[in-house]
Amino acid sequence: MERFLAHRVGLVVAAGGGVVVGGGAGRERRRGDRRGAASHGFGGSGADGEAVVVRARRSAGVDTVWAGVVVPGFFRTLVMSAPGQCCPSPWLESQPLPQEVWAQVREEAVFGCHKWDPRVGDTDVILMQPLVLPRDEWGFLAEAAEGLATELLAAEEALWRAPVRVRDRALGELGLPGSVVRVLRRACADGAGPGAATAFRVMRFDFHHTREGWRISEVNSDVPGGFVEASGVAALIATHAGARAGVPAGDPAKAIAEAFACRLAPGACVGLVHATAYTDDRQVMRCLAGRLSEAGLASLLVSPADMRFGGSGRLDAFGGGECEAYDGRGWRRLDAMFRFFPGEWLPNLGWRSAWRRFFTDGCPSANPAWALVSQSKRFPLLWPRLGVEAPLWARFLPETFDPRDGVAVAGSALDAPQWVVKPALGRVGDAVLLAGVTPEAERRKHLRDARRHPRHWVAQRRFEPTPWEAGTAVGVLYPCVGVYVIDGRVAGAYGRASSRPLIEAHAHDVAVLVAPGFQSKNVSEI
């Protein structure tokens, strides 16, 4: 079915003085050109006091399926409130599971779903209560995520096709390890370039609902996680909650297996590359190994240190290269691989390893290691220089700056409470600096580092997430809905919720369910 994303059909002006969504992109581009420096601002569309309308058109009466959830066809408008106004909460009322089944659910999660870390310290991380979204609200997130993924891939392509001097300078602005930057520059100079080793792409966009509407804090385009929780655990919670509570938003682990099965012959071997010393990584690989087996494929759980690449390494098609992994008894050929080892860690394997081949050619991979460029939170800062138009990113990403811009561009000091300062390659909420949330001594320490090494940090306008009344057991939580886009299509959601407005290692894992019978207050038919 033909689908019309907001950025495909054009964005509309709100009645009564609204603004065009994505207008902030041009505004920030001009500002960056004026400075003539490497640092630019990006995102944050909409003027003060103005409402923003996103209109997504569908064929009337035609249903669409997103990750197994049927979303009705209609001409839909979602209004993003102006500053000072409040966008209604999207969370539907849900009930915690009865306490008498908690032990059973935890046991099934550990032994049936490979959720081997149900506790972090003294905290139970599996929340025994689902986060329920209206069906049309989920449809909006799904459509937005697919559009964001399309724009991200276009931005990556623009980087690789840029003139040599522009590309090489841009790669040095992303906060990547120097050895990785040198490998990517050399690969492009040799004509090999990235892209030959791409199987398909796996991304997760982290959405937060705010008083102004939905925002994204980041995209995980290198090694997104959460597959155990978003697939097995979410289905388990949905089963115990009952059909009336809703259905899981999707099954990303199954989607990955199906994407490989579409490209490989039956019985082909997929290497599941991960940090084998970490139990929380191993559980994800065991989960995916089971789904690959169901899809008729073999798998091998392997460390990147136990891999070798033969020949030239250029792989232009599946089955056309030479990639092997050691399985304890001998070397075994891999037809493709799923990489769950962060790209910035690869140089730590040492010069004797084949880590450089992950970035240049190697085995067809999901994801290829060069996806690390878009994992960097500094990547959107380069888009004005590359001539990239990304109206959806300009709409959903909060206003983002290089720390060097400081007062000149942001209009306030870097340590002002309206800014969040993040490491370019930070993960799991590490070193995210929020005034009033991050301990002040830690915040001051990292701010000094951001001023000394600005290329490794980014500043982002702070937003206030919409709280979720999760019941008397846990109280008020702040949820994050991570929407997966796998092989270009939405494939589910990973829910997390924290007792403070920062998602980090101690946040709860929450099953995201979709309630077909409810319509959001934020979405209306016209």
Kindly state whether residue 244 falls inside one of the protein's structural domains.
Answer: yes
Q: Is residue 448 part of a domain?
A: no
In a domain, 287, yes or no: yes
Cβ pair 77, 524 in contact under 8 A: yes
Taking the C-alpha atoms of residue 401 and residue 418, their distance in angstroms, rounded to an integer, is 13
Q: DSSP strand E in 93-184: where?
A: 119-120, 123-124, 131-134
Domain for residue 180, yes or no? yes
pTM of the model: 0.84
CA distance 254 to 260: 10
Q: How many domains does the chain have?
A: 1
Q: Is it true that the peptide bond before 522 is cis, omega within 30 degrees of 0?
A: no
Q: Distance from first CA to last CA of the chain, Å, rounded?
A: 21
Residue pair 251/229 in contact by the 8 Å Cβ criterion: no
- Rounded CA gap, 470 and 475, in Å? 6
Residue 137: inside a domain, yes or no? Answer: no
Which of these, 260, 246, 64, lies nearest to 146 by C-alpha position?
A: 64
Strand order in the sheet with 365-366: 298-302, 269-274, 336-340, 365-366
6 within a domain of the structure (yes/no):
no
How many CA atoms lie less than 13 Å away from 35 in the CB half-sphere?
19
* Cα distances (Å, whole numbers) of residue 131 to 79, 248, 477, 509: 22, 10, 11, 10
Residue 17 has which token pair?
Answer: 């003085």
> Is 145 within the bounds of a domain?
no
Which residues does 17 contact at the CB level (< 8 Å), separation at least 6? 50, 51
Question: Which are the contacts of 335, defined by CB distance < 8 A and separation ≥ 6?
Answer: 264, 265, 268, 269, 270, 318, 319, 363, 364
One digit per residue, pLDDT tens: the chain, 526 residues? 333 333 332 332 233 332 223 333 333 333 333 333 344 577 776 444 444 444 443 433 344 554 555 444 433 444 444 444 567 889 998 989 998 999 999 999 999 999 999 888 877 899 999 999 999 999 999 999 999 999 999 999 999 999 999 999 999 999 999 999 999 998 887 665 565 567 899 999 999 999 899 999 999 999 999 999 999 999 999 999 988 889 999 999 999 999 999 999 999 999 999 999 999 999 999 999 999 999 999 999 999 999 988 754 443 333 345 788 988 889 999 999 999 999 999 999 988 888 988 887 667 889 999 999 999 999 999 999 999 999 999 999 999 988 887 655 555 567 778 888 999 998 777 778 888 888 888 888 888 888 888 899 999 999 999 999 887 677 899 999 999 999 999 999 999 999 888 888 889 999 999 997 655 555 433 2
Range of the domain at 250: 151-202+220-375
Residue 45 inside a domain? The answer is no
The amino acid occupying position 451 is R
**Coil, helix or strand at residue 51:** coil
